[in-house]
Structure 1
Amino acid sequence: MGIALLLVRQLERWFELMGAEYAYMATDRSNEASLRLFTARCGYSKFRTPSLLVHPVHSHRLRAPRRATVVRLGARDAERLYRSRFAHVEFFPADIGDVLDNALSRGTFLAIVDKGGYEWRGVDRFLSSPPASWAVASAWDCGGVFRLEVRGASRLRRAAAAATRALDRVVKWLRVPSVPDFFRPFAGWFVYGLGGDGRDAAVAAEALFASIVNMARGAAAAVAVEVAALDPLRSRIPHWRCLSCAEDLWCMKRLGGHADGWDWARSAPGRSIFVDPREV
């Protein structure tokens, strides 16, 4: 038995001791060795294929759709909205209140697109009479837990990236697509709890993501969000393809002590997922 297989089995035993019914893993679809281990030898099923969309943080502000109005929600209003509208979404955390209260959570934001001039008057009114189109999302500071670094880049690439940043700082109005300093340890922010409703919900989601990218200036080098393959909001999320992962793959397995009844690991995918930022 190889060390990787032994490690997976030991983890599964610990999961069961902790009361878990399922185990899941995430990898890139091109990681053939990982897929062989989990699907062929450990009995995992290919479960979901979300996309990780990443946008760098520039010195200039990212433009947001003017039709959208963005408001910041208090933690309790955000919790009520999430529990009311997203409790059925896959991977929704039962302790969402603790997530929102965490020191690494940078706030929850609601974007509204409504020709009638909808005005935010609290979560009760929103739930009883929502606007025509809206989207909600929260921001998480991953830099408080870990930092990333790109290594192996040539001096020429580093110099070219530095030149774009210098130009962006001096003439922000040019909106230069500058490359952040990924070549030293940097922080990233993660957008979680993204969801919405209405014909222009994707426009609202674009406004939310742009607002969070702008808020991250000076605190992070990039902002990422993970969206389901069928999520209608993904079409308007600004991102750089070279930084994103369009073919992430999640695999899942039902653990041994729960062999009867419906198997979530073999269920059809929903339109959206709720990625717990504590698991990023």
Structure 2
Amino acid sequence: MEGRVTVLIREFELEKDREAADAIDRVCEVGPSGKMTLFTDLLGDPVSRVRHSPAFLMLVAETVGPATEIVGLIRGCVKTVTCGKKPTRSGATTAKHQNPPSPIYTKVGYILGLRVSPYHRRMGIGLKLVREMEEWFRDTGAEYAYMATDKDNEASVRLFTGRCGYSKFRTPSILVHPVFAHRSPAANLATMIHLSPTDAELLYRRRFSTVEFFPRDIDAVLHNPLSLGTFVAVPRETIWSGISSFLSDPPSSWAVLSVWNCKDVFRLEIRGAGRFRRGLAWASRVVDRAMPWLRIPSVPDLFHPFGVYFLYGVGGEGNEAAEMARALCGHAHNMARMAGGVGVVAAEVASCEPLREGIPHWRRLSCAEDLWCVKRLAEDYSDGAVGDWTKSPPGTTIFVDPREF
């Protein structure tokens, strides 16, 4: 069969290819059994997951012959991100709040959503799609390409690291927590400040612009309708006097995060759970409805399509920063609870993120190691002081763009 199938790679056409692309998405599960898997695109637009990026493209693989058929697809976007920071000159001031280090930017292409029909695998279709996307990355000026996959997805890891020349780069963690029927009391641990997009941009650029993968167009992210707000948690005795005062003289401990509404882009569901686990979840909801005063943390129905709120831009400082982050996560949980239709809140952070212990999550739903792989697209590009980014050691934190979750 392999020798008889000819495949054409072309750009996706919405009206012509929508149904076939949706069908490919549905038959290709994302993640191992018992984990969250991509279910469907709510907007009826298969490029909706990348269309919020500065430049994006979707390609399809179509069989050639009397009866053409779409058997694969790939999404990609290009943006400018931080890959390091310029070294501080000897004798320069160390007042970090007033003179933050300067970031080094590079242009990257991100591969999102490579899918090949189960009936047409092991024919080189995935490799063709990746190579075509990389050509577009190069034409757009990208210096690197990267992608994310589950570390246990052997086929994906083998394709990218074995045949496409990618190297394993970072292993962040995806932390997922259910949205319960009752308010989270964690939100009461601190004073919550809701920042305007302009103030949030100032905070992120001043304090996080040298974090790996920080998007240069953070203003576009924060002003996007899917971004539901940026929140700062400070000790309860703190008097808030505005963002300028905060940046010049921050409290001893604080934390920040932003909330992104994935519910209006796609939905997830848990597949592969046995009857026993489904029954326990159902029973917890029944008991909670009968005796709500017990405030039982009943498990929401995650076995049918549900929405997600994604927490991005997680950071902070101080001995109590993790507790401040816990308060912010509780606030985001309560936002999701009030919105309805949101089954979980999720965050993706570096494996050694200092605030990780303050982010509530269920181990069963989470992914301890999400594998990011990277490839340098052209050797003649120069990254200034950072050298070859693919060989740089990981930092303690990472900025995950919500447009790519």
TM-score bin, normalised by smaller chain: over 0.9
Structure possessing the higher relative contact order (Cα contacts under 8 Å, 6 or more residues apart) = 1
Decide whether the 8 Å contact of 1:118 with 1:131 is kept in 2.
yes
The amino acid across from 2:311 in the alignment is: V
Counterpart in 1 of 2:278? 158
Decide whether the 8 Å contact of 2:306 with 2:341 is kept in 1.
no
Counterpart in 1 of 2:343? 221
Decide whether the 8 Å contact of 1:65 with 1:203 is kept in 2.
no
Cα deviation, residue 170, structure 1: 4.1
The answer to whether residue 261 in structure 2 is matched with residue 141 in structure 1 is yes
The answer to whether residue 232 in structure 2 is matched with residue 110 in structure 1 is yes
Counterpart in 1 of 2:142? 20
The answer to whether residue 296 in structure 2 is matched with residue 176 in structure 1 is yes
Q: Distance in 2 between matches of 1:97 and 1:259?
A: 27
Q: 1:78 to 1:172 in 2, by over 3 A?
A: farther
Moved more, 58-67 or 45-54: 58-67
The answer to whether residue 403 in structure 2 is matched with residue 274 in structure 1 is no
**Equivalent pairs, count:** 278
Counterpart in 2 of 1:210? 330
1:198-249 deviation line (CA, Å, top 9, x unaligned): 1111111111111101110024110000010111100121110000000111
The answer to whether residue 231 in structure 2 is matched with residue 130 in structure 1 is no
Decide whether the 8 Å contact of 2:187 with 2:329 is kept in 1.
no
Decide whether the 8 Å contact of 1:56 with 1:221 is kept in 2.
yes
Cα deviation, residue 153, structure 1: 4.3
| Identity among equivalent pairs (%) | 60
1:147-191 deviation line (CA, Å, top 9, x unaligned): 112345455543432221233344344232322111221101100
SS of the equivalent of 2:347 reads: strand
- TM-score relative to the length of structure 2: 0.65
Matches within 5 A, 1:1-280: 2-64=124-186, 66-113=188-235, 117-154=237-274, 157-217=277-337, 218-256=340-378, 258=380, 262-280=387-405
Decide whether the 8 Å contact of 2:166 with 2:374 is kept in 1.
yes
Cα deviation, residue 98, structure 1: 1.3
SS of the equivalent of 1:147 reads: strand
Decide whether the 8 Å contact of 2:232 with 2:328 is kept in 1.
yes
Counterpart in 1 of 2:89? none
SS of the equivalent of 1:107 reads: strand
Moved more, 202-211 or 159-168: 159-168
The amino acid across from 1:82 in the alignment is: Y
Decide whether the 8 Å contact of 1:45 with 1:266 is kept in 2.
no
Q: Which has the larger radius of gyration?
A: 2
Cα deviation, residue 259, structure 1: 5.1
Q: 1:178 to 1:82 in 2, by over 3 A?
A: same
Decide whether the 8 Å contact of 1:72 with 1:107 is kept in 2.
yes
Counterpart in 1 of 2:19? none
- TM-score relative to the length of structure 1: 0.93
Cα deviation, residue 124, structure 1: 0.4
Decide whether the 8 Å contact of 2:145 with 2:375 is kept in 1.
yes
Larger relative strand fraction? 2
SS of the equivalent of 2:280 reads: helix
Note the residue ranges of structure 2 that are not aligned, 5 or more in a row: 1-122
Decide whether the 8 Å contact of 2:351 with 2:369 is kept in 1.
no
SS of the equivalent of 2:342 reads: coil
Q: Distance in 2 between matches of 1:157 and 1:38?
A: 35
Cα deviation, residue 65, structure 1: 6.7
1:106-144 deviation line (CA, Å, top 9, x unaligned): 111101137xx2211110000111000000000011011
Q: Distance in 1 between matches of 2:341 and 2:296?
A: 19
Decide whether the 8 Å contact of 2:143 with 2:381 is kept in 1.
no
